[in-house]
Amino acid sequence: MITIKSQREIDGMKKSGEIIAGMHKGLRELIKPGLSTWEIEKFSRHYIESHGGRAAQIGFEGFEYATTVSVNDEVAHAFPRKKLILKDGDIVKVDTVVDLDGYYSDSAWSYAVGNVSDEVKRLMAVTKKALYLGIDQAQVGNRIGDIGAAIDKYVTDENGYGNVREYIGHGIQPTMHEEPAVPHYGTAGHGLRLKPGMTITIEPMVNLGGWKVETSKEDGWTVTTEDGSWSAQYEHVVAITNDGPKILTSQDPEYDAKYL
């Protein structure tokens, strides 16, 4: 069921989103070559809990960690690991969900580890721009397909990257995952019409190679690219309002100024 949120609920989600934003800002300073992905988990969980939030991924369908920390060809949902040490040139994606007094926020971000290649820099830049092209379409009266069409046109048609299809955005609040489904591909003018008070995630996952992925048979969680190519992801929670899309997880007010 799709729920329409009041301004009070949106304000509560924004406060939750401020915790995620602060965590990601801290990770910008923390992430560097020689760091284990477990240190990312420790920092993130401590940050969330010390700011009054709950790391909502813990216990979700048996998941044990506050974050997913996915490196290079790992697309999403990878466990933080004590023995996985980041190297110069890696790309690492950190995703988490925060519950603050019953209000949820969800955000993933990609980080360059040390000095990355021009190829990786371009992948990250294209993925981030794709996120904001999708957000631009999150307008009252538009349809879900408008979001996905804008993202896929830019990622696939204009840049030739693989636009992951198996994992998509979603509604959020009053739980972590709600209707509607928000694919990062689609047909403009098709799908559910967007209404004021909807809150959704937009979270494109983009691969240097093909779009197909596979899930680890060993742990049942870790998603990797089928062809071994590297992947990037960026994610925001967005409220649909009569004044345009509003980002509730902004970690860069200057960059996000038009959406605040």
Q: Which residues are annotated as a binding site?
A: 77, 95, 106, 170, 177, 203, 235
- Residue 207 CA to residue 230 CA, distance in Å, equals 6
- Residue 36 CA to residue 55 CA, distance in Å, equals 20
Burial tier of 20 (Cβ tally within 10 Å: 0-12, 13-18, 19+): buried
**Torsion region of 213: left, alpha or beta (phi above 0 gives left; psi -120 to 50 gives alpha):** beta
**Torsion region of 124: left, alpha or beta (phi above 0 gives left; psi -120 to 50 gives alpha):** alpha
Coil/strand/helix, residue 224: strand
Rg of the chain in Å (alpha carbons): 17
Residue written as tokens 């790391």?
55
Annotated binding-site residues for a divalent metal cation read 95, 106, 170, 203, 235
Among candidates 135, 101, 137, 144, which has minimal Cα distance to 8?
A: 101
Annotated binding-site residues for substrate read 77, 177
- 182 bridge partner residues: 169
Contact between 100 and 15 under an 8 Å Cβ cutoff? The reply is yes
E-strand ranges in the chain read 54-55, 67-71, 74-76, 91-100, 103-112, 162-163, 169-171, 178-182, 199-202, 205-207, 213-215, 223-225, 231-233, 236-239, 246-247
Amino acid at 119: E
